[in-house]
């Protein structure tokens, strides 16, 4: 399955988990959505993380009105932490704890670069 992203009115297609192999670095992702280098580093990191999060979730979007757990990454007292949440919106939300933990393991450095925006 491919994921279609709409950025500033332009539609981009990112190859998703079709091969069942998730990217472990940004460079492994074949992103063709345009140049991000004109943005400040923290914004570039956040945009990359958003794209990678959506790939890891394979099209899943959280329903914040239901009582099912959403597996999130948060900053607590200045440190990165994981948590299962039910209703509070968070940028880093995942359909399973395993995906969340794998994402954090693979992209902790990028998350640290973006933390001032979160």
* Structure-model confidence comparison of residues 97 and 17, the more confident one: 97
Q: What is the pLDDT of residues 75-87, one digit of tens each?
A: 888 899 999 998 8
pLDDT above 80: residue 2: no
Asked if residue 56 lies in contact with residue 22, where contact means CB atoms within 8 angstroms, the answer is: yes
What is the pTM for the complete model shown? 0.73
Asked if residue 90 lies in contact with residue 57, where contact means CB atoms within 8 angstroms, the answer is: no
pLDDT for the residue numbered 24 = 87
Mean pLDDT of the chain: 85
* Structure-model confidence comparison of residues 81 and 4, the more confident one: 81
Residue 64, helix vs strand vs coil: coil
Q: List the structure tokens of 55.
A: 């790939």
CB atoms within 10 A of CB 51: 21
pLDDT above 70: residue 8: no
Asked if residue 58 lies in contact with residue 74, where contact means CB atoms within 8 angstroms, the answer is: no
Gap between the Cα atoms of 85 and 67, Å rounded: 9
Rounded percentage of the chain residues whose pLDDT exceeds 70: 82
Q: What is the pLDDT of residues 54-107, one digit of tens each?
A: 999 998 999 989 989 999 999 888 899 999 998 889 999 999 999 999 999 999
For the chain, how many residues are written? Answer: 118
- Dump the DSSP string for 83-107: EEESSS--SEEESSHHHHHHHHHHH
């Amino acid at each position: 399955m491919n994921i279609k992203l709409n950025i500033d009115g332009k539609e981009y297609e990112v190859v998703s988990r079709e091969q069942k192999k998730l990217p472990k670095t940004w460079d492994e992702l074949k992103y063709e959505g345009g140049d991000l280098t004109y943005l400040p580093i923290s914004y570039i990191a956040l945009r990359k993380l958003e794209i990678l999060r959506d790939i890891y979730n394979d099209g899943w979007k959280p329903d914040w009105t239901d009582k099912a757990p959403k597996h999130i990454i948060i900053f607590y007292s200045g440190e990165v932490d994981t948590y299962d949440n039910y209703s509070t919106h968070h940028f880093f939300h995942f359909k399973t704890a395993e995906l969340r933990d794998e994402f954090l393991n693979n992209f902790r450095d990028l998350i640290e670069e973006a933390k001032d925006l979160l």
